[in-house]
Amino acid sequence: VTIHRTSEENDILKRFGQRLKALRKARALSQEELAEKAGFSRSYYTEIERGKRNVSILNIVKLAECLEVPLQTLLDFSESD
Amino acid sequence: VTIHRTSEENDILKRFGQRLKALRKARALSQEELAEKAGFSRSYYTEIERGKRNVSILNIVKLAECLEVPLQTLLDFSESD
């Protein structure tokens, strides 16, 4: 499936993925550990961190719970420029 | 399509919908106006407010932009109990 996204949309997904990765590393969790904790496949989780998935609010909430951070902290990815 | 969600998941989507509705009303926008601004169909938008849609991060960002609020403000729906 080819998904067409604007560069702005790709940028949002990438920044979210980077934020997620930083929080995961701060908790010394591997991708595999966090994926399993959240009930995601490893490949799906990896794609989220790479900014390839337009993740849903329920999965965002689940990730925040697994990272034990408020939703706002996970969504705190400001513009890069 | 029947979608099975837990009551906790339904609760999250409902609280998000209520938050969205409150912010829309605070800006004196009708459902139709906000839907059009965001590029959503009226029926899709209505379902989000009713907590029936597991909205994606790109659509959440779009709604926050249309409401001219930070993402964190839109996602600030705390536990109801």
The model's pTM: 0.91
Mean pLDDT score, B37-46 = 97
B13 touching chain A per CB within 8 A: yes
Asked if the Cβ–Cβ distance from A61 to B12 is below 8 Å, we say yes
pLDDT attached to residue B3: 77
Give one DSSP letter per residue of A1-47, joined into a string. ------HHHHHHHHHHHHHHHHHHHHTT--HHHHHHHHT--HHHHHH
Q: What is the pLDDT of residues B54-80, one digit of tens each?
A: 999 999 999 999 999 999 899 988 754
Residues of B in contact with A71 (CB under 8 A): 75
Q: What is the pLDDT of residues A52-63, one digit of tens each?
A: 999 999 999 999
Asked if the Cβ–Cβ distance from A58 to B13 is below 8 Å, we say yes
